[in-house]
A and B are shown apart, each in its own frame.
Chain A
Amino acid sequence: MARVKISEWKAKQILLGEGYNGVQIRLGKKQALSASKKWVVKVDQGIKKRFKQGLVKVGVSAGEAVTATKEWEKKGFTQFIAEPVFQHENNEEQYLSLERVRDGVRLLYTKDGGVNIEEHPDKVQMLVLSTPESILSAETQTGLPHGFLVSLVEKFEKSFMTFLEINPLVVRENGVALLDAACLVDSAGAYFTREWSEDDVVKSKAKHDVEKHVEDLAATTPASLKLSVLNPDGALFLLLSGGGGSIVIADEAQALGAGKLLGNYGEYSGGPTREETYLYTKEVLALMLDSKAKKKALVIAGGVANFTDIKSTFAGVIDALSESAEKLRKQGIKVFVRRGGPNEAAGLAHMRTFLEKENLLGSIYSSVDPITAAMRDAIHFIK
């Protein structure tokens, strides 16, 4: 995905450089904290509203900080940040964010920051920074310390950040303190920057095994392979192609009142090979066979492909289906197909022959039929 979160610790390290005194703590790795200081310790996995969830401890000793991380580890968290406490008053807290927009970098700033920024949109200054002059003028307009914004935007650009939120920000005569920071970077920038690496991208929640497998597979191909588990005990499982077409087909489920019966959403596109399609299909089938729903249907559908070869991708789908044909039959699963594109006739003919032979055929449609036809039939089947 294009915009990904990196850890708060890494973001601050990029922004503050050598002078940054925060410590990163990761699961299973010991990290010595100075016993003479009081610490703020937080879960550092890109989670919103950490304070309300009890994932922040303020003013604790080194020992207490370690105890806190141990507690959080039990809840499944793996990455933390510890910083020396920065004493300040609530009314010193300011808000600043930068976001890449079409015509430059959009700055949102208010002196009255704190946690309630969303409730006071009227107090927020909004400026678009597109030229060196516009940055200097923004410094004047906001009253931020001389050079701070220039340096911040430079680092923002250099490290391919797309969103940076500092809240609260404390500005004093002798410098600026970033108390909390959230940062999104552009994953496509990884090749161009040395400021961060794949290792700094935060992994949010623990994922379903099947999602992890697909993620690993997607990392090794130029084609696009995506899968999200929606309802492990769903009745409709989807093997969809195309970013846009897949949503149209899923929409049809929602329109026919079956949105909550979807077991997964996902799509393959961009010309995956037969082998890649085989591996992807295997994951969807594994998920489907595990579902406890009584009546289940597999929807193999997509738009009229531009360059994804239907014959070879369907060959991969059939490879996977034939491995599980017996189990699919035992569970009474039927397969509903709609697809078009290069080598459509040959691909659909193979699919039909295979599904008929294995007694798995629900219905099969080509590019002359609506994109939603297979989904409609599948819903009638499971209801």
Chain B
Amino acid sequence: MSLIEQIRKNNNGIVVAGNHPAILQSILDFDFLSGETEPSVKVCLIANRSTLKLFFGTKEVLIPCVKDMAAALIVAPEAQWLLNLQSGRRVFETTNLFFQLFPKALGAHVFAENVPEKHATDLIALWGDKKIIAGPSGVGILVSGVLKLGASGGVGLAQIAQGKLTQKGSLAVVSTSGGMTNELIVATAHSGKGTSFSLSIGGDRFPITSLSRVLELAQEDSQTKAVVYFGELGGVDEYEIADLVRTKKLTKPVLAYVAGTIDEAFEERMQFGHAKALVARNDESARAKRDALHAVGVIAPETFPEFLEAMKSLPGEVLEDVSASITPLMNRAKSILSTREIVDLESTPEYVSGKKLAKSQSYAFARATLSALLGRDVSDVTAAFTESILTQLIDHGGHVSGAVNTMVTARAGKDLVSSLVAGLLTVGPRFGGAINESARTWLRGVAAGKDAKTFVEEETRAGRLILGIGHRKYRVGVPDPRVEELSRFASLLKKHPHYDFARAVEKIMTGKQGTLILNVDGAIASLTLDILTECEGLTHRELTSLIDAEFFNALFVIPRSIGFIAHFMEQKQNDEGLFRLPDELLFVHSDKKQKKRK
């Protein structure tokens, strides 16, 4: 079986060294649209983080990141490919090590342009015969519908569709130029032939896998019907093609464009964009190389438009159209923080059943906590109630201010205590501080002996918000299950005036709007007041002093600290690097006229 055919049958796992989010995303998009069920990118060598978040289809996935190749071997022992996106300084070491540690690997792409010639020739000596290595420089390897190793074919979703990258075509695209590789892939799509595979050998002086070897791959691959080639002035690669054709080692039709006749317009030889693109001898001119190709029967048109036209008469077609539509992927919005579910908010534990305490547990932590805060041993009901709220308030998802602050601080590389404190510092009038203020409201309302209607009117007239009322999601008819569960504690009490008052206020409020129901904060506050009064015998004065001492806030801060710590730990484990708001989530408005660029 030829190598390209082997790649088509393979499980092509990729180890990535370095980071280039757009290229990596395009590989995952390519995988998804080609019908793969998991990303080909298995692990990334990136020093400053432990995961990289990318889309696979419309969902996000976290790709593991490791610091060295030995760790990559543990994560992805079956990997077949290296995508080396590092700078030229590190290319030799990493590439060499990869092939030493992954002896079964098929090949690599070296993306960097500034790889020393000596390092390239050393890699040729060590691995040139055994592996397929695209580069240094260029855009890597593409086997349509199977493997995308590098930027080849572009990085945008629209480009994957336009170049028909996921559809198995018939023309092998071979080019020294990364940009022109893509231009040719698009041209094969327009011509209706499609690309079978493409290997960009790069514009450096010593491509590791040589042009001859790539042409050999094209000759061996039964799906490939013809070769389209783009070359430039400088170097003598085209004579390799001519030799292969002359000696019948390459019998498939070859269509070639050798760019650089513009050099004839100048008196002095000019250095063009690529390192090799300088005519050092006469036989390196575009003209001479075209003539040499012509002489052996290669189609080598004079102009690029003629080249495109000639492509239409090559044999072959797009073999199968298996690609999924890109439309569902077009409007993906990237998440800005990654978190997990810390407490299952859907399941609320049962503490009260049939007007009795359900579990005869010791609630030792709740007891110890209250003993510390109140200076007394508490009853079973108080302990159970406290246990239930401590459990419920551990976390409320990653959306809330305190959790966000904790996560952002953790991602800035700060320690546990700093991150926890950053989260806790948001607790106050708008976030998490409502229990304390709600308790103050219920206490005042009950003590004043007013009916709920009068109370609500007075509060509203005074411009005060009634804390403990209102929910974004739950409403009349769709009760908050946590409030339901807490409310059962009322059945354990002889009297529950604060809870009753809160419910009465709720009734008035929901008359205006269905979402103005008693929320968790309000339920906790009212029931705590009733339980402390009946089970612990606290007086109005003692309750007031507890509110002033922020006891009710403590009931929030204690469990939520656990939640924040959990968010801190998950961020450290994901380690996605420093957090920065993407532009589209930030509205920058300016009253002044935009400053002129200098």
Contacts and interface: CB of A to CB of B under 8 A. Distances in A.
A304 B183 contact: yes
A255 B303 contact: yes
B20 interface: yes
Interface of A is mostly: mixed
Interface string A334-374: 00000011111100000000000000000000011011100
B180 A248 contact: yes
A188 B117 contact: yes
A304 B154 contact: yes
Contact of B156 (A248, A319, A341): A341
A248 B259 contact: yes
| In the complex, the 3 A-B pairs of residues with the closest C-beta atoms, listed nearest first | A244-B177, A243-B273, A259-B265
Interface stretch (A8-16, A96-104, A141-149, A175-183): A96-104
B499 interface: no
Interface in B318-339: none
Interface stretch (B199-207, B352-360, B515-523, B557-565): B199-207
Contacts of B158: 344-345
Contact of A306 (B179, B265, B308): B179
A246 B277 CA distance: 12
B302 interface: yes
Contacts of B210: 102
Contacts of A73: none
Interface string A222-254: 101010101000000000011111111011111
Contacts of A228: 270-271
A186 B305 contact: no
Contacts of A83: none
B180 A244 contact: yes
Nearest to A189: B116
A93 B71 CA distance: 58
A41 B151 CA distance: 52
B30 to A, nearest CB: 13
Contact of B597 (A186, A189, A319): A319
B178 A306 contact: yes
Nearest to B91: A188
Contact of B116 (A160, A241, A267, A306): A160
A48 to B, nearest CB: 12
A247 B113 contact: no
Interface of A: 1-3, 100-104, 130, 157, 160, 162, 186-189, 191-192, 222, 224, 226, 228, 230, 241-248, 250-255, 259-260, 262, 265, 267, 269-270, 278, 302-307, 319, 323, 340-345, 367-368, 370-372
Given A188-B88, A303-B179, A243 B162 contact: no
Given A188-B116, A307-B20, A342-B156, 11 more contacts: A1-B271, A103-B125, A189-B117, A243-B277, A244-B232, A245-B183, A247-B232, A253-B262, A255-B261, A342-B159, A367-B162
B425 interface: no
A344 B597 contact: no
Given A247-B232, A247-B260, A247-B277, A100 B177 contact: no
A222 B22 CA distance: 16
A254 B261 contact: yes
A252 B179 contact: no
Contacts of B205: 2-3
B81 interface: no
Interface in B202-222: 203-206, 210
Interface in B260-305: 260-262, 264-266, 270-275, 277, 286, 302-305
A303 B118 contact: no
Contacts of A226: 273
Given A100-B117, A260-B265, A306 B152 contact: yes
A241 B179 contact: yes
A186 B179 contact: no
Chain B CB count within 10 A is highest, among A2, A103, A259, A306, for A306
A3 B118 CA distance: 12
B176 A304 contact: no
Nearest to A305: B179
A248 B272 contact: no
Contact of A162 (B117, B181, B182, B266): B117
A262 B270 CA distance: 14
A372 to B, nearest CB: 5
5 contacts: A230-B270, A242-B180, A262-B262, A269-B273, A343-B156
A250 B23 CA distance: 29
Between A247, A270, A370, A371, the greatest number of chain B beta carbons within 10 A of the residue's beta carbon is seen for: A247
Residue among A192, A228, A242, A343 with max Cβ neighbours from chain B (10 Å): A242
Given A160-B118, A186-B117, A244 B304 contact: no
B117 A247 contact: no
A186 B262 contact: no
Contacts of B450: none
A103 B121 contact: yes
Interface in B116-133: 116-118, 121, 124-125
A341 B154 contact: yes
Nearest to A242: B179
A18 B55 CA distance: 60
Contacts of B396: none
A89 to B, nearest CB: 32
Contacts of B179: 241-245, 269, 302-306
B186 A242 contact: no
B180 A303 contact: yes
A304 B186 contact: yes
Contact of A372 (B113, B125, B180, B303): B303
A341 B87 CA distance: 24
B116 A255 contact: no
Most buried by A among B88, B265, B266: B265
Nearest to B153: A306
B124 A103 contact: yes
Given A104-B121, A188-B88, A189-B116, A254 B304 contact: no
Nearest to B210: A102
Contacts of A251: 259-262, 286, 303-304
B121 A307 contact: no
B385 interface: no
B260 to A, nearest CB: 5
B155 interface: yes
A233 B220 CA distance: 52
A371 B304 contact: yes
Contacts of A157: 118
B203 A243 contact: yes
Contacts of A241: 179
B261 A244 contact: no
Given A245-B177, A306-B155, A319-B597, A259 B273 contact: no
B453 interface: no
Given A100-B117, A160-B118, A306-B155, A254 B265 contact: yes
A228 to B, nearest CB: 6
Contact of A248 (B124, B176, B257): B257
A305 B190 contact: no
Contacts of B48: none
B376 interface: no
B85 to A, nearest CB: 11
B260 A192 contact: no
B178 A192 contact: no
A100 B121 contact: yes
Contacts of B116: 160, 186, 188-189, 192
B54 to A, nearest CB: 15
A189 B177 contact: no
Contacts of B88: 188
A269 B273 CA distance: 9
A203 to B, nearest CB: 15
Contacts of A254: 261-262, 264-265
Nearest to B139: A306
B186 to A, nearest CB: 5
A142 to B, nearest CB: 22
Interface centre among A187, A323, A340 (most CB of B within 10 A): A340
